[in-house]
Amino acid sequence: MLLLPLFLLQLSPSGSSASRVARANLHPPNDETGVLLKPARMPDPAYHPDQLEEWLEDCDFIDSMTLNKPAVPATLQTKPYGKLNDGAVASFRERGFVTLRKVLSARELSHRVRLHSHDIGAKKDRTIPLSKALPVCCKAIFDSRAIYGESKAGDFESFFRLHNLWRNSRFIRQLVFAPRFASIAADLMGVSAVKLYQDSLFVKQTGHNASRWHQDHVAAPFVQPKPASAAATNDGDNEGDDVGNDGGMQMVTMWLPLQKTTDDEMGALRFAVRSHHDRKIFLPDTPGDGNTIGTLSDAHVRSLFAVEEAAARLSKHRLQLGDASFHDGFTLHGSGPNLSSETRWALAVQFVAADVTAMTPSAFEQQRPESQHPRLSLGPRVGDDRYSFGEWLRASAVFGDITEEYRVVPVEHPLLPLVWSRDLDPRTQYFKAQDLYEGFQVGTWRQGYFRFTGDLRRKQGGRF
């Protein structure tokens, strides 16, 4: 008898929030497989039911374009971060990470964000500070999503993760496209322009386990050019071949906490000092990891490197709301278990140099031990971000410049947007990148892909 109400629930109109939650819990997105780790549910507090279909996806209860002005502070577009001195840049390049105070100032965090009255059931619009609007939006999106994954007996999750909130929320998009953040990433890498690769919401609940040490670059399809000074070979049992190892700093992750304070007890990030220096990809050190690359045990990392928490050099060893840490794509990092009574929320935003080179789709997929190509013998990459890069990488394989057998220059694509350049007005580029995305239709690229892919396969020997 219990099956009948559930069946009727699925047949209810698409505007029903209940049916949406039920569908999310019954059908994994993107053809994912595995068990349901975190079911979708109605967010708390519940807003006006007529608007649930929209805001569950997009946080449309936040007025993100009042009088053609973004909901985030204008200073994020026009005022650079004033505390990034030569010492901070030098520390980042030497150690592989840096923590910066007040990347979002107290005044910016108190900036009032307006909520639509018809979405919250109020008689008139009301406002809340950015410091509250950002976690409220992220929590609403998180609550409405079902998360699937692998499950093994005795295993405990390390965290929950959602990719690319910027693609679903104009409010989040206005934040992560901010020139303030992109210019910091460019200065740390020493490049003149950067693109947004992806953002990720990380939710580490009370009792969540430690996450294994890993490198962000491993999950991405980027290959970096090798400078003349970086001809060192990879020696040792735990070091991989040189796919993606050969380059300068061309990928940076900003980790932005969303609660008032974050410390090691909550599972703040930990970094292996100077682990990025040789641009090496690390192979697993423990039995049972198979050919998965990019993860290491805590004991092994501590035997190789000094370890430091993100907030270790800050007063009281805590990250405050508005602080952010930045780390290089090759820096080994992880987090301890959440031993506190609070959930740890963080938004990670990843930037790449605008001239970064990528692997072709087949090169990325064919990284197996049995591969005959000397640069494609590492084994599968752990936790790859294919739902972030799949669309623009396929388009690049068709329309981009194939420089070598396994390399492609990414095309200008709205899903890999240019968010900052020394040669462009930051405010103009800020709005241009958002306009390009909001006018973007995936089908347009796919039509071109299917139309031309046959000819390219014949011309290029079927590599795509």
Q: How far apart are the first and last CA of the chain?
A: 50
Tokens representing 234 are 């990879």
- Summarised one tens digit per residue, pLDDT across range 104-147 is 999 999 999 988 765 444 556 688 999 999 999 999 888 887 77
Is 42 in contact with 17 (CB distance < 8 Å)? Answer: yes
Average pLDDT of the chain?
75
Residue 257 pLDDT level (bands cut at 50, 70, 90): very high
Looking at residue 117, what is its pLDDT? 61
Residue 245 pLDDT level (bands cut at 50, 70, 90): very low
Residue 212 pLDDT more than 70?
yes
Residue 56 pLDDT more than 60?
no
Whose CA is closest to 248, among 228, 267, 226? Answer: 226
Looking at residue 383, what is its pLDDT? 53
Residue 19 pLDDT level (bands cut at 50, 70, 90): low
**How confident is the model over 378-392, as a mean pLDDT?**
67
Looking at residue 461, what is its pLDDT? 40
**How confident is the model over 262-280, as a mean pLDDT?**
90
Q: Please state which of the ranges 53-67, 121-135, 139-153, 222-236 shows the lowest mean pLDDT.
A: 222-236
32 three-state secondary structure = coil
Give CA separation, 52 vs 21, 118, 144, 408, in Å: 11, 11, 10, 41
- Summarised one tens digit per residue, pLDDT across range 70-104 is 899 999 999 999 989 999 999 999 999 999 999 99
Compute the distance between CA of residue 371 and CA of residue 410 in angstroms, rounded to an integer.
Answer: 24
**Buried-exposed string 87-103: b where 16+ CB fall within 10 A, e elsewhere:** ebbebbbebbbbbbebb
H or E element that contains 115: strand 112-115
Highest CATH level, class, for 32-460: mainly beta
Compute the distance between CA of residue 51 and CA of residue 58 in angstroms, rounded to an integer.
Answer: 11
Compute the distance between CA of residue 371 and CA of residue 357 in angstroms, rounded to an integer.
Answer: 21
Looking at residue 357, what is its pLDDT? 85
Q: Where are the domains of the chain?
A: 32-460
Percent of the chain with pLDDT over 90: 38
Residue 185 pLDDT level (bands cut at 50, 70, 90): very high
**How confident is the model over 169-175, as a mean pLDDT?**
93
Compute the distance between CA of residue 379 and CA of residue 148 in angstroms, rounded to an integer.
Answer: 24
Residue 235 pLDDT level (bands cut at 50, 70, 90): very low
